[in-house]
Amino acid sequence: MYFLTGWPRRLLCPLKSEEEPFHIQPSFHRFYFTVLSETQLSVWFSRPSVLIVSYIESSKAAAQFGFYQQAEWKPDDSMIAVAAANGYVLLFDVVGGGDDRYLYEPVYPKGSPRVKVTPGFKEEQCAPALSLEMKKPVDLEAPITCLQSLQEDLLVCTADGYLHVLHWDAISNGRKAISLSTIPFSLDLQSARGGPSLDLEGVFIRDMEYCVTLGGFAVVLDDGRLGFITPLTNRITADQLQGVWAADVGDGTCVAVNNKYRLMAFGCASGSVLVYVIDTTTGSMQLSHKLELTPKHYPDTYNKTGAVKLIRWSPDYSVAMVTWECGGLSLWSVFGAHLICTLGEDFAYRSDGTKKEPFKISSMSWGAEGYHLWVVPSRMERRKEGVEEEVEEEGEEVEEVEMVTPPPASLHAGILQFHFIKSALTVNPCTSNQEQVLLHGEDRLYLTCGDPIQAHSADTDTPLGPHTHLGRDSSPLHHPDPSSSSSLSSSPGSQGLSTLLGHKHWHVVQIHSTYLESNWPIRFAAIDTAGQCLAIAGRRGFAHYSIHARKWKLFGNITQEQNMTVTGGLAWWNDFVVTACYNFIDQQEELRLYPRSSNLDNAFASVTKLHSDTLLLNVFRDMVILFRADCSICLYSIERRQDGPNPAASVELLQEVSMSRYIPHPALVVSVTLTSVRTETGITLKAPQQACMAESIMLNLAGQLIMLQRDRSGPQVRDKETPANHKKLLPFCPPVVLAQCVENVWTTCRSNRKKRHLLEALWLSCGEAGMKVWLPLFPRDHRKPHSFLSRRIMLPFHINIYPLAVLFEDALVLGASNETVLYDGLQAQGSAEPLEALFPYCTVERTSQIYLHHILRQLLVRNLGEQALLLAQSCAALPYFPHVMELMVHVVLEEEATSREPIPDPLLPTVAKFITEFPLFLQTIVHCARKTEYALWNYLFAAVGNPKDLFEECLMAQDLDTAASYLIILQSMEVPAVSRQHATLLFNTALEQGKWELCRHMIRFLKAIGSGEMETPPPTPTTQEPSSTGGFEFFRNRSISLSQSADCIAAGKFNLQKTFSMPSGPSTKGREVDCAENMYIDMMLWRHARHLLEQLRLRDLGCFSAQLGFELIGWLCRERTRVARVDDFIAALKHLHKDFLWPFPVIPMGSVSSPLRNGRCRTVLSTQLLKSQSADSLLNSAMDTAPPVAAAQRNHAWLDGLASGGGAKDMDSASSHSHHAPQTHDAFLSPLSNKADECSIGSATDLTETSSVVDGDWMMLEEHSSTLCLSQAELEHISMELANKGPHKSQVQLRYLLHVFMEAGCLEWCVVIGLILREASVIKQVIGFLDSPEVPAETVQSVRSGLLAVDAWASTDCLGYKPFLQLIRPQLQQLMEAAVEQVQPEAFQPSSQASKLGGPEGPGSPATEDSRGGSTPLGLALPSLDPPGGAALEDGPPEQTEEQAEEEGTYDCTLS
């Protein structure tokens, strides 16, 4: 409602004086302020805040009258009354200067249009020169306790128990004195009036204030009793006064009345404020509510504030400011919602934690329109500020210093001004139909608007639209990408989410200075439905602003602006500003509509004359509703006229409703709203469109919400029978009171069939009582409703923010809150504490809150589960719906499980049953449990079910993450054996589904259970693992510990280090448990690996190994003769094709006669393009002896697909060409230097050379020939070959697996992978190994039969493999004929081979090919050691290029 902003401003008096001000009193319109010191009366102007005149009493007169005590203004600002200590009332005339006399006036540059003004205009923006003339003093012969101004009278209370009624022109008229003891008091006005009912001898009135709307005085007597005195006639005379008491109160200190809400706020010595209303039937005083600090929010200070010193209602009566004897300021809304308090947080503590002294106040007053609070600090405060020396923190020493050091005179007249910004709802309640939050300060507007790009996509001026808006004090607004925002806004139910919740920044709009300086203060502000246009109205005229164009529109003719003043408020209707205003020239009240697009001029306005002053205005669809000063309500229809060139609207009176019977005073009406809300909620309506009609009027009458419905009891006229424009509107029924203590009302005129509950509801803000919603109840499936079932229900709920707007579809309340920033480092050593250190810097933050869980819970409490279900299902698509469910369970659980009394009818089982209707039931329960303390778990699971059952449900629903959360609960609630059993179940399922992150957590969890088995179960799994700082270090340990599997293999063959690294346990017993636990986990991992290999799922096996750090090679070594065998080569081959998305090879139809059809080109592409990757994967290939870091890095290389990171940079050029070749033939023709980013020059040259060699042109080429061309046929063939190859990532993964199987000696799998990659060298290598005596005979037999089976299958089913099988025919022959050429037994030693392959300079060819002259330089003749036949020609060039590629790749690697 009201929010503090910035730092307070100090106003210093230019007159030097030893006296200090102690009292401030505003004039009726708050443009002038009277400031009193002991013998000095000063008048200040509000804007600019300057001293105008000061009257200083002579010492002789001061001795006669005594010091000044308090002051009061005459309502027309023409006189000031001052009470002096010796019982005198001093009356001063406030005399204005001549026409041209101004104390301060603006100076304009030459030629400024603002100089040429109408007469009387200049006066509005200057500080006038005034003078004060004392009239004859009035002696009342007793000390004066309080003054109160009425229209023509001045009431003065004296300490002798009299009430004096003076006339303002006291010279001509006498005075009346009424003794308090003659006024009869009773508890209510119905009691007999037989003389005074209480002994009031010697009692006087301490404080008093007149309430216009109640027609009486609220009084505080000096003995602390509270009362209300009513004059029974218009004149105040002794025999016509009647008083009522507030029962059982005896500690009153001060009073302030609220005329708009008919409230009396009494301050008490206890520190709380009691707010009373007068019961209209009995006339007794009823306690409405209390304003007091709660121990929950202010545990240190709530009972240490001292007595209430002052209460001040804001000018619009929507908030009250309270201060206490011990200092501090606190702000409450009219019905008790607490907004600000300076006794806590940054106001009360410095950044180092030391406590500040509370700021004590001697007097305060609100400025015009509530934008400022003028505060006169108590004398103690000013002395403290003036002290020059560094003062100790202790109170006694402070007092001593104060006595000794006289304060410097310049600081004496320090008045502080606190700045506020307030919600537009306070004075212009028609903004409650909007979903934006709009706040206004004295010179700027704050709004939470959506994205302008989105709202203006249709009529954007610029191609892109505005991207940022930098208002003063604001951050750049973030606008989401138009495409994303449009997709967001188009999705159902996300209307508000995409715009109004986009960011936490305010959109700050500076009010146009030209308008502001002549029309300050701003009184009304309004925003249109789209949040794109603003309108403001000050003292005269109005102006409007387009957020999209970022431009203000002001009246072009300043005379028109100055000749109207907005009286009833502003609103937007489509593109028109609707305003109820007073026309000074015609002296006539008018309703005007100004189009936004035209210039702001009366020529374009449509004007309707009104018969009475308008107090309030509102718009509903195409209707305007006005509330007038004669207590009548008028409905007008608005229609857009299309006849003229400019947009125009016509207004027609529809209906008048007199409310004078129900409204005692027109000023009591806070807001008036037309709504489509009805008690029947449209159930009885046949036509759904009638739900959008104006069905009822809502009036907020001094906090009572009154509803007038249309009377449908009479004969109904069918719509079809009447012409549309002559339709007679139905009369309204007598009013019904819906709710009490209402501050704001929200409804919407939109409709949405899916969210009828939320859009047809009525939302109320009720101060400290929180919010209420008047919710419609719908019968399910269009059944006839029960006659006993109410059609609507009022549900109260509490929220933690002050509501300023409701987003209906999104089930959200928007608000704002004060935040503070400390700057107390500004204090210099030895000097006074500056204001910036005394007070924190205040900012206003946007806030929002979900309320759906409150409503659902209230419905369940009232056994309306069916309605709750309908409402929840309509909101299930909201992104925070799971959070709503959690909150509901959590709140009910906390309340019921911590209740001291037994609960007869617990709600938790009902809530649990309700949540089971939604798919997120399991997740909601476990999230709620994990955010709740352990002590409440038994109560929760007694209601929702056994966590073991819920865990199993999660597993059945394949929701493993939720199951993992249940596991943590089981671990705390069950014995370790049970949690291990469930953890094993989940671990196996996670392995099967490839949820690796979860698997890693499960490994850690199982270890933790094991290590904690001897003692109690650990609170969390991670605490049992001191050695692991994160996920990966632990997994490195894991892979090394697994490498003990190498024990099964002869040490000579595989030199695996036996490192067994585990967290060091506290004892040997603990270590044994850890060993057993590791073994248990290893068994599960081995079982899963075996399962994958049995099912031929190599890709999953690779992922499994890389993600969990599984030592694959060591395990494969052991399983070499068992599960790592291949029984069916064809099935394995087919499975790999499917798994790795690898296409089966095809033969190009056109090139059957091509010289390349035997697959010679395949050698180039397969070995040359792919071999380099194997070199990469073979770097650091001694996996068994590598340090754990290397092992982990290499394993994780699988995770990255070996495509990003180290491996990708040294990919051979050929593979990069292989990606581009199908699309662009230029890849082979352009100069190679341009391709430097893709590949190295040498390797690209290799490619072109070898292609040329394969082409059958056997001449030797120069090393760097780069201008070779390929014929069309060759290009087609290469494209065909590339089409036969799978994705690059699959290729990398297959190479890696090939290397792993090679290391482990699983030769059958090597053959299968060699076949799918179509790598002749691999097959050759394997067949070479088969001669080794180490290889078992069945392996040789298996490879032989497998290759024969593949050959047979290729002949019938997959001819694409024939060329490759043709290529390896010699090897097959060799295998069949039991090997002609013997290979050295040492060749089959993966560790030595790995060192050869992995060394940076070692030859790249495998051991079997060492005899083929691997180091032959390029360009020399091929060695003639080849066996007879064509194999040499086919196999020679690939090996040369292999070696070259190996070197290039390594070189690239070191370079990068």
Distances in whole angstroms, Cα of residue 447 to Cα of each of 434, 436, 488, 581: 12, 7, 22, 25
Per-residue pLDDT at 1135 exceeds 80: yes
On the question of a cis peptide bond just before residue 521, with omega within 30 degrees of 0, the verdict is yes
The listed range with the strongest mean pLDDT (86-100, 682-696, 1381-1395, 1406-1420) is 86-100
| Pairwise pLDDT comparison (540 vs 19), residue with the higher score | 540
Whether the Cβ atoms of residue 594 and residue 605 lie closer than 8 Å to each other: yes
Four-residue CA torsion sign, 491, 492, 498, 499: positive
pLDDT value of position 430: 84
| Pairwise pLDDT comparison (194 vs 1113), residue with the higher score | 1113
Whether the Cβ atoms of residue 969 and residue 929 lie closer than 8 Å to each other: yes
Nearest by Cα to 682 from 762, 792, 788 = 792
pLDDT value of position 547: 93
Four-residue CA torsion sign, 1084, 1090, 1096, 1098: positive
Residue 1328 pLDDT level (bands cut at 50, 70, 90): confident
State the angle between helix axes of 921-930 and 908-915 in degrees (0 to 180), rounded to the nearest 10.
130
The listed range with the strongest mean pLDDT (483-492, 565-574, 1256-1265) is 565-574
Q: How far is CA 1372 from the centre of its chain?
A: 69
pLDDT value of position 354: 87
pLDDT value of position 1326: 87
Name residue 848's beta-bridge partners: 814
Contacts 24+ apart (CB under 8 A), 59-63: 62/38
Residue 28 pLDDT level (bands cut at 50, 70, 90): very high
| Pairwise pLDDT comparison (1286 vs 75), residue with the higher score | 75
- The two tokens of residue 882 are 């799971």
Work out the burial of residue 1088: count CB atoms within 10 Å of its CB; fewer than 13 is exposed, 13-18 middle, 19 or more buried: buried
The whole-chain average pLDDT of the chain stands at 76
Whether the Cβ atoms of residue 922 and residue 953 lie closer than 8 Å to each other: yes
Q: Where are the beta strands (DSSP E) in 596-668?
A: 606-609, 614-620, 623-628, 632-641, 648-658
Q: What is the Cβ-side half-sphere exposure of residue 653, based on CA atoms within 13 angstroms? A: 12
In the chain, the amino acid numbered 888 is: M
150 phi and psi angles, rounded to 5 deg: -115, -175
pLDDT value of position 170: 63
State the angle between helix axes of 1188-1199 and 1098-1108 in degrees (0 to 180), rounded to the nearest 10.
140
- The two tokens of residue 773 are 């919603």
Question: Taking the model in full, what pTM does it have?
Answer: 0.76
- Classify 43 as helix, strand or coil: strand
- Classify 1347 as helix, strand or coil: helix
User: For the segment 1040-1055, what is each residue's pLDDT rounded down to a tens digit?
Assistant: 333 333 333 333 333 3
User: For the segment 282-296, what is each residue's pLDDT rounded down to a tens digit?
Assistant: 889 999 999 999 888
Four-residue CA torsion sign, 244, 245, 247, 253: positive
Q: What is the Cβ-side half-sphere exposure of residue 276, based on CA atoms within 13 angstroms? A: 28
Whether the Cβ atoms of residue 604 and residue 615 lie closer than 8 Å to each other: no
Element (H, E) at 253: strand 252-258
pLDDT value of position 404: 34
Per-residue pLDDT at 1156 exceeds 90: no
| Pairwise pLDDT comparison (101 vs 959), residue with the higher score | 959
- Classify 484 as helix, strand or coil: helix
Residue holding tokens 């780069």? 1266
Per-residue pLDDT at 353 exceeds 50: yes
1255 phi and psi angles, rounded to 5 deg: -60, -5
Whether the Cβ atoms of residue 157 and residue 145 lie closer than 8 Å to each other: yes
pLDDT value of position 263: 96
| Pairwise pLDDT comparison (936 vs 1016), residue with the higher score | 936
Distances in whole angstroms, Cα of residue 1418 to Cα of each of 1004, 1054, 1151, 1263, 1442: 54, 36, 31, 7, 11
485 phi and psi angles, rounded to 5 deg: -70, -35
Whether the Cβ atoms of residue 933 and residue 900 lie closer than 8 Å to each other: no
pLDDT value of position 339: 94
| Cα separation, 814 vs 500, whole angstroms | 9
pLDDT value of position 1378: 57
Per-residue pLDDT at 613 exceeds 90: yes
Number of continuous H segments (helices) and E segments (strands) in the chain: 41, 58
| Cα separation, 1390 vs 1182, whole angstroms | 8
Whether the Cβ atoms of residue 1261 and residue 1252 lie closer than 8 Å to each other: yes
705 phi and psi angles, rounded to 5 deg: -90, 120
Per-residue pLDDT at 1183 exceeds 80: no
Per-residue pLDDT at 1182 exceeds 50: no
The string of DSSP letters for 1180-1207 reads: T--TTTS-HHHHHHHHHHHHTTTTSSHH
pLDDT value of position 481: 37
User: For the segment 228-261, what is each residue's pLDDT rounded down to a tens digit?
Assistant: 999 877 777 767 888 898 988 889 999 999 999 9
917 phi and psi angles, rounded to 5 deg: -70, -10
pLDDT value of position 104: 83
User: For the segment 832-852, what is each residue's pLDDT rounded down to a tens digit?
Assistant: 677 778 889 999 999 999 999
Whether the Cβ atoms of residue 1367 and residue 1254 lie closer than 8 Å to each other: no
* Rounded mean pLDDT, 1112-1128: 88
Whether the Cβ atoms of residue 581 and residue 560 lie closer than 8 Å to each other: no
* Rounded mean pLDDT, 8-37: 90
Per-residue pLDDT at 623 exceeds 90: yes
pLDDT value of position 715: 66
| Cα separation, 1127 vs 1134, whole angstroms | 13
| Cα separation, 1296 vs 1319, whole angstroms | 14
Q: How many CB atoms lie within 10 A of CB 931?
A: 10
User: For the segment 1221-1279, what is each residue's pLDDT rounded down to a tens digit?
Assistant: 344 333 333 333 333 343 333 333 333 333 333 333 333 333 343 444 567 777 776 77
Question: 613: Cβ–Cβ under 8 A, 6 or more apart, which residues?
Answer: 567, 568, 582, 589, 628, 629
User: For the segment 785-807, what is each residue's pLDDT rounded down to a tens digit?
Assistant: 555 566 889 999 999 999 999 99
Whether the Cβ atoms of residue 241 and residue 229 lie closer than 8 Å to each other: yes
pLDDT value of position 925: 95
Per-residue pLDDT at 46 exceeds 80: yes
pLDDT value of position 1072: 67
Residue 153 pLDDT level (bands cut at 50, 70, 90): confident
Q: Percentage of the chain surpassing pLDDT 70? A: 70
The string of DSSP letters for 1240-1273 reads: -HHHHHHHHHHHHHHTT--S---TT-------HH
The listed range with the strongest mean pLDDT (310-324, 1097-1111, 1290-1304) is 310-324
| Pairwise pLDDT comparison (1361 vs 1442), residue with the higher score | 1361
Distances in whole angstroms, Cα of residue 1388 to Cα of each of 936, 938, 1206: 64, 63, 29
Nearest by Cα to 924 from 953, 900, 901 = 953
Residue 173 pLDDT level (bands cut at 50, 70, 90): low
Q: Which residues of 1416-1438 are buried (b: 16+ CB within 10 A; e: fewer)?
A: eebeeebeeeeeeeebbebbbbb
The listed range with the strongest mean pLDDT (74-83, 725-734, 1196-1205) is 74-83
- The two tokens of residue 1064 are 């060091």
Work out the burial of residue 406: count CB atoms within 10 Å of its CB; fewer than 13 is exposed, 13-18 middle, 19 or more buried: exposed
- The two tokens of residue 166 are 């003076």
- The two tokens of residue 24 are 């401030």
Distance between start and end Cα atoms, the chain? 62
Between 896-910, 998-1012, 1066-1080, the lowest mean confidence (pLDDT) is in 1066-1080
Per-residue pLDDT at 205 exceeds 60: yes
Per-residue pLDDT at 1187 exceeds 50: no
* Rounded mean pLDDT, 546-564: 94
Residue 1385 pLDDT level (bands cut at 50, 70, 90): very low
